[in-house]
Amino acid sequence: MATGKGRESDPGSEAGDEREAVESSAAGSDVVAGGGYPAACDTPARKLLYDMVSIPSPSGEEERAAERLVDFFEANGREAWIDEVGNVRAPASDAVLLTSHVDTVPGDIPVEVRPAPPDGELPEPSDVRVGEPGEPVLWGRGAVDATGPLVAMAVAAVKTGVSFVGVVREEVDSGGARHLIGDRDAPEAVINGEPSGWQGITLGYRGLLEGTYVNTSESGHSSRPEPNAIQHAIDWWHGVEEAFTPEDPETAVFDQVTTKPISVDGGLSDDGLAVETTMEVQLRVPPSRPVDEVHELAEAELSTGSVQWGDPMPPVMESPRTELARAFRVAIRGGGGDVRLLRKTGTSDMNLFAAAWDRPMVTYGPGNSDLDHAPDERLPLSELDRAVTVLTDVCRKRL
């Protein structure tokens, strides 16, 4: 299954049925992998999504989901394998590389298809409305971030014969994307898979600078006025927050450097002779600010202690006037959609791809990103269908 070799499919087997179903896009073809499907999962794309969402794949535990993707490509006559870091590789035409991540954040959401509620109502336990009244909606971890985009890309890759990679560890350290960049040449164009909604194209992401503040001070009675290591950490962070507070309070979040402490640990050392503290921090960096400048300004607020900085994730802002972006606008409008050009305040693997490869790229995929990592994560199945159509149209225009 993950040997790196393509395999022949018996036309009478389930794998053969899956191949024929994708080639013809015939609804209701018999594709079974580990059980039956809800009635609404009546196309190859919907069945693959149901399978993938049903397989838990938190970062570091992607193997079973990766094997299912390899099965899908091999059943459709495509060579596919799992590389040394766990990425699913299905090379073909590099006119476009379709890539999304196999891993999800942890979380056990029962996998089920429910009809969207009537207008004016919301399903328990959600306060986000998705789907037209009565249409089937698939609930489950990863349905939006980013198994929905991953499946849409896998199906479009089979339909069009373009290259595909399902990367691992995006949710923790982007280890799969980093390996991919060092292991292959740049494609002609990149479409990264994250939820944008089928009518949206994401062109920009902020960068990320992560650090760990470390300090130690002598222990002493808490009534003494001298600040200890914990206070020094707090003072440094207050200085960092003030340094990056925008002068104009109306500045859009995307255009700000935002600061966030992630964890703080402090107290007496094991021998009782010192006060120790560590603070994990993140700074989100807009494309208008060099990461090196942000690093220097944060360091300048230090009076004591030190910060160990991780490898930065550079920001990215792609032009909406590339041929790739234009192809998306045409395909979305052709499907009856109103195009939305998006900038995201977080990060994605596109940050790394853009820094390494000087190629046109966008991020695209079905799903409402308000449901990323949420306990009510879900995707209307019609949105998956529309995203497959858009991706297929765009890839065919690039070939």
Render pLDDT for 253-288 as a digit per residue (tens, 0 to 9).
999 999 999 999 999 998 888 999 999 999 999 999
How many angstroms separate the CA atoms of 126 and 6, rounded? 43
145 annotated ligand binder: yes
**Does residue 46 register a pLDDT over 60?**
yes
Alpha-carbon distance of 365 to 156, in angstroms, equals 12
- Amino acid at residue number 323: E
Residue 172: what are its φ and ψ, rounded to 5°? -120, -55
Tokens standing for residue 225: 């006025």
The tokens describing 384, both together, are 């998956």
Catalytic residue selected from 83, 170, 349, 393 = 170
Q: Does the structure show a pLDDT above 70 at 35?
A: no
In this predicted model, what pLDDT tens digit does every residue of 185-231 receive, in sequence order?
A: 999 999 999 999 999 999 999 999 999 999 999 887 666 778 999 99
User: Which residue among the candidates 103, 276, 349, 393 is catalytic per the annotation?
Assistant: 103
Q: Which residues partner with 297 through β-bridges?
A: none
Sign of CA dihedral 105, 156, 178, 318: negative
Q: Supply the pLDDT for residue 42.
A: 94
Q: What gap in Å lies between CA 336 and CA 333, rounded to an integer? A: 5
Radius of gyration, alpha carbons of the chain: 23
**Does the structure show a pLDDT above 60 at 31?**
no
pLDDT at 331 over 90: yes
Q: How far apart are CA 303 and CA 229, in angstroms?
A: 11
Q: What is the pTM of this model?
A: 0.88
Q: Does 373 carry a binding-site annotation?
A: yes
Q: What CATH number should be reported for the domain whose range is 14-205+316-398? A: 3.40.630.10
103 is catalytic: yes
The whole-angstrom separation of Cα 131 and Cα 124 is 15
What mean pLDDT is predicted for residues 5-22? 45
Say if residues 275 and 219 touch (Cβ distance below 8 Å): yes
Per-residue pLDDT at 5 = 34
Cβ count near 15 (within 10 Å) = 20
Neighbour-count burial of 127, counting CB atoms closer than 10 A to its CB (0-12 exposed, 13-18 middle, 19+ buried):
exposed
Read off the pLDDT of each residue in 352-372 and give the average, rounded to a whole number.
97
How does residue 125 score in pLDDT terms, banded at 50, 70 and 90?
Answer: confident
Using the predicted structure, report yes or no on whether residue 56 has a pLDDT greater than 90: yes
| pLDDT-wise least confident of 4-8, 118-122, 149-153 | 4-8
Average pLDDT over residues 69-98: 98
**Residue 33 clears pLDDT 60, i.e. is over it:** no
* Contact status, residue 81 vs residue 89, Cβ threshold 8 Å: yes
With a cut of 90, say whether residue 237 has pLDDT above it: yes
Measure the CA–CA gap between 74 and 66, rounded to whole angstroms.
12
Q: Is 239 exposed, middle or buried (CB count within 10 Å of its CB: 0-12, 13-18, 19+)?
A: middle
The CA-atom distances, in angstroms, between 191 and each of 59, 68, 82, 303 are 22, 22, 20, 44
Q: May I ask the CATH class of domain 207-309?
A: alpha beta
List the structure tokens of 365. 């995929």
Give CATH 3.40.630.10 domain extents, the chain. Answer: 14-205+316-398
- Whether 74 has a pLDDT exceeding 70, the answer reads yes
Domain with CATH 3.30.70.360 in the chain: 207-309
The fraction of the chain above a pLDDT of 90, given in percent, is: 86
How is residue 279 written in tokens? Answer: 């603070």
Q: Tell whether residue 194 is among the known ligand binding residues.
A: yes
Burial (CB < 10 A; 0-12, 13-18, 19+), residue 197, is buried
Torsion sign, CA atoms 244, 245, 249, 253 = positive
